[in-house]
Each structure stands twice: as structure tokens, then as C-alpha cells.
Chain A
């Protein structure tokens, strides 16, 4: 059995390495700071409690993202109405954005924000593949396993997401 201080050191290394990526993934999936913080905190506490067990069975990185993902989906299921409303409001917003002058938009928002808004307007499944790739740094196979989908679907969803984002960006840049 490892000593407590050794366990804390080990945890801190993992925590510092993964916290930003995990936070960004969760935040961009939920777009809710409070919920996101709760999920991240719970996940890291769970990790600390079961670190030895997890280390023996799977990659900690995958475990962290899968745990956060499960919690996000549980939240989606529990607050289905809220999510739907949120989505509807977003799509309205997007329409407004599309109609107004792009120059004005550019003044108000940076490209980054626009990209994020476009990303937020996408269906969760599509957005998730992109977030797992960009923020999680997982390869196609890992994403496919995590989401329980085929490798080809991962590639296709990624491509579609990127196409949409590029399209959105092109309107501003060019």
C-alpha cells in the first residue's frame, strides 16, 4: 500500500496534466460554469479515491474523460427540457447572427467566440467528437471506443464539424 503523501504527489501530477483539457471539454459540452465545476470536482475526487484501482485497469486519461462524459450525459438526461430550450434559444441566436452584418459581428465578437458559438449550436454528438479530438487529444480509435461508434463515423463527424467551423470563419476572415 502506498503512503498518503506519495498518493497525493501522484494525483497532483495527473491533476495538473489533465485539468485544463478536462475542464475545456466539460465546459464546451455544457456551457455552464457551475455544472462544469461540479462535474470536474467530482471526477477528480473519484480519481483520488480509486486511483490505484483505475491505474491497474485502464488509462487514467481515458477514465477521466469517460467519467466526465457519463456525468454530462446524466445531466442531459435529467435536464432534458432545459437542454432543449437552451438549444432552441441558441439556434434562434444563430439565425439572428446570420442575418446581421458580418462586420458588426466581427466588431462585437472575436473569431474565437464565433467559432465557439458555432460549435455550441451543433448537435451534442458532433460537438463531442470535435472536443474529444481537440481538447482531449485522443486518436480516432480512442474516440470511437469512448463514444461507442465506428471509426468512420468519428472521421465523418470530425470532418463535418470542421467544415461548418471553417465555413463560419471564412465569412469573417475573407
Chain B
């Protein structure tokens, strides 16, 4: 196997990415390739140097984080408590609103019923009036007709004058008085 390929396998081995089958190939091939063996050794020492270079987590930071966490937790619980109070108040307010709404709703229902009753009464009255009106007989009015009536008189007599005084439209033609006769017929 070529050295480059072996170096690639060594990289994979140290990165824990090497497949099980390849591990056997790598270690078998390492015996035959001194350059790859050298690279393996160097990689091994680099790996241990890196492991040793791991800095310890600073204690001050540890305290800082844990203190902040405690504060944060307290704040959260306070916030939770205030949230609880707020929820209770909101719930109470909602219940009150619900009660008021139910009250107004029942009231409006009452008014609605009253209105329906009144409407019904009014319509009944209306019907009553209508029926009363309809019980009267039918009235029929016909066109008046005018007929001239001729009355015979003797000259300018007393009667003639009298008739003329009460009926100015009467005309005397020779010895006749023409009287407008008006007749109105009505049917009930």
C-alpha cells in the first residue's frame, strides 16, 4: 500500500473514523512502511500532547455560572409566582365578566319575550280592528243624475215668486218652471 494511503488511514485511525476491516490492513501495512510508521509515532505523540494540553475549567467561572444559575432560578420562580397571581386575577376577572354577560343575556331574553308578546298583542288588535271594519256593509255610491222637471205655473204668481226666491236657478219659460231635479242613489 502506498505511503499516502497509509497516512490517510492513520489520520482516520486517530480520528476514530477507521472501519474495523481497515484497522487490520493499517497495522499489517505499518510494519512494511517505515515512513508511515514514523508518521504514526508522531501522530501518537501529538495526540498525547493535545490530551495534556486540556486546560482545566476555571473555578471562578464555575462559581460565576452556578451563582448566576441560582439567581436566574430564583428570578424564574418569582416570575412564575407573579405569573400565577396574574393568571388568578385574570381568571377571576373572566368569571365576573362571564356572570355579567349571563345576567345581561337573561335580561335581553326577557325583553325579547316581552317584545314578542307586545308585537303579538298589537297584531291581534290590528286584526280585531280590521275585522270590525269589515263587518260594516259595503257602500256603493253611484253617479248623480240630473233631470230637469217642468212645472206649469200661471204667470208671475205668488208661487212663482216664491219658487224663484228659493231656487234662483229656476227659469221660467212661458208658463213652465224648469226645476233641476237631483237624485243620488246610494247603496249600503
Interface stretch among B46-54, B87-95, B122-130?
B46-54
A169 with B46, Cβ < 8 A, contacts A37-B64, A155-B11 known: yes
How many positions in chain A have a CB within 8 Å of any CB in the partner chain?
Answer: 35
Interface stretch among A70-78, A91-99, A131-139?
A131-139
Apart from A159-B7, A169-B46, list 19 A-B contacts with CB within 8 A.
A4-B73, A15-B65, A19-B62, A23-B58, A24-B53, A37-B58, A41-B68, A44-B69, A45-B68, A49-B72, A112-B53, A115-B49, A115-B53, A116-B53, A135-B54, A140-B17, A158-B11, A162-B46, A169-B49
Identify the closest chain B residue to A141 (Cβ): B17
Chain B residues, CB < 8 A from A134: 50
Q: Is the CB of B55 within 8 A of A115?
A: no
| B162 in contact (CB, < 8 A) | no
Chain A residues, CB < 8 A from B76: 4
A4 with B77, Cβ < 8 A, contacts A45-B68, A155-B11 known: yes
Inter-chain CA distance A24–B57, complex, in Å, is 8
| B15 in contact (CB, < 8 A) | yes
Identify the closest chain A residue to B12 (Cβ): A155
Q: Is the CB of B57 within 8 A of A19?
A: yes
Chain A residues, CB < 8 A from B170: none
16 contacting pairs across A/B (C-beta < 8 A): A19-B57, A19-B62, A23-B55, A37-B61, A40-B61, A41-B61, A41-B68, A45-B69, A112-B49, A115-B50, A116-B53, A133-B15, A155-B11, A158-B11, A162-B11, A162-B46
Inter-chain CA distance A20–B65, complex, in Å, is 13
| A30 in contact (CB, < 8 A) | no
Inter-chain CA distance A3–B77, complex, in Å, is 10
Inter-chain CA distance A10–B80, complex, in Å, is 20
Q: How far is the CB of B52 from chain A (nearest CB, A)?
A: 6
Inter-chain CA distance A134–B69, complex, in Å, is 29
| B45 in contact (CB, < 8 A) | yes
Inter-chain CA distance A8–B70, complex, in Å, is 9
Q: How far is the CB of A134 from chain B (nearest CB, A)?
A: 5
| A165 in contact (CB, < 8 A) | yes
| B181 in contact (CB, < 8 A) | no
Inter-chain CA distance A139–B11, complex, in Å, is 12
Task: Report the 7 A-B pairs with minimum CB-CB distance, sorted nearest first.
Answer: A166-B42, A19-B57, A20-B57, A37-B61, A112-B53, A134-B50, A23-B57
Chain A residues, CB < 8 A from B49: 111-112, 115, 169
Inter-chain CA distance A48–B75, complex, in Å, is 13
Q: Is the CB of A159 within 8 A of B11?
A: yes
Chain A residues, CB < 8 A from B61: 23, 37, 40-41
